[in-house]
Structure 1
Amino acid sequence: MNLIRAEVAARDADRQQGLMYREKMGANEGMVFVFDGPAQVCMWMKNTLIPLSVAFIDERGTIVNIEDMQPQTTDSHCARKPIRYALEMNQGWFRQKNIKPGMAIGGLPQ
């Protein structure tokens, strides 16, 4: 089991701000984006200074896909199907913990 300290971005303004302008993040820290219902979601890294990995997670808590994202880019990284959550962590965190698509994430906010 891995304990994550994730800030919650559930409002539009919080989701738009995301992790922009942050210069560092702790080893088990991240941000979970909560969407009102299953949605087709894409993320980008404009004004984001640290490399991140994002796990796109469906309403049951199952990881759909994981994408690595490079700092200060506008490349779109999209969920492969409608999702309810996106969890951003330091780049490589999911790989280091051997967390893969199809696995479940517990304790997500409702």
Structure 2
Amino acid sequence: MRKSQVIVALSIVFILLLLSTFSYMSGRACKPAVPDEGLNLPPSTASVRITCSDGSCQVFEVEIADTSEEHATGLMNRTVLAANSGMLFIFSDYSAHNFWMDNTLIPLDMIFIDEEGKILNIHKNATPLSKEIIRSAGPCKYVLEVNGGVCGKENIRTGDSVLIIQ
């Protein structure tokens, strides 16, 4: 073989080696190091629109809590909750639900919502770190937690309509 043919052959081998290495590394980068269970994935989110009896609307961008683990953790240990945000607890059963503020560092308004999307009752400005039991006034399907004081400021009341947009 001529010298030029050897150089071409070596160049082709080198390029193929680079391509196979790149392909291998790309495949590794896309695969999780551990199975999907137990990964801290970003929370699912939704928009919640409350239409008040005075005709005004308030929209909240919320995290969804729909598992027992998420129900138990809620907004615990957070030092801040952005304006117009919150957490929406979705329950598989339609029954009375109880909450408390143990390990919750910020005041919250808790809005209890029935299965038809009507506000059943509101507990305003729940005290941080309190072990007081906060109860729904009856069966509810959802509980929306927002910054303390928002319900008073935005005129959100019992009987107002709630629409969840996922």
Tell me which interval the TM-score lies in, with the shorter structure as reference length.
over 0.9
Compute the displacement of 1:19 (Å): 0.2
Compute the displacement of 1:3 (Å): 1.6
2:151 and 2:116 mapped to 1: Cα distance?
A: 19
Q: Is the 8 A contact 1:61 1:108 kept in 2?
A: no
Larger radius of gyration: 2
**Structure 2 partner of 1:48:** 104
Compute the displacement of 1:51 (Å): 0.4
TM-score by length of 1: 0.95
**Structure 1 partner of 2:119:** 63
Name the structure where helix makes up a greater proportion of residues. Answer: 2
Q: Match for 1:80 among 137, 146, 151?
A: 137
2:165 and 2:143 mapped to 1: Cα distance?
A: 10
Gaps of 5+ in 2: 1-56
Compute the displacement of 1:37 (Å): 2.1
CA separation of 1:37 and 1:59: change in aligned 2, threshold 3 A: same
CA separation of 1:89 and 1:61: change in aligned 2, threshold 3 A: same
Structure showing greater relative contact order (alpha-carbon pairs closer than 8 Å, 6 or more residues apart): 1
Gaps of 5+ in 1: none
Counting matched residue pairs gives: 109
Q: Is the 8 A contact 1:62 1:102 kept in 2?
A: yes
Q: Kindly report structure 1 stretches of 4+ aligned residues shifted beyond 3 Å.
A: none
Percent identity, please: 35
Whether 1:89 and 2:146 are equivalent positions in the alignment is yes
Whether 1:34 and 2:100 are equivalent positions in the alignment is no
Letter aligned with residue 63 of structure 1? I
Secondary structure in 2 matching 1:107: strand
Q: Is the 8 A contact 1:8 1:34 kept in 2?
A: yes
2:87 and 2:143 mapped to 1: Cα distance?
A: 8
Whether 1:22 and 2:74 are equivalent positions in the alignment is no
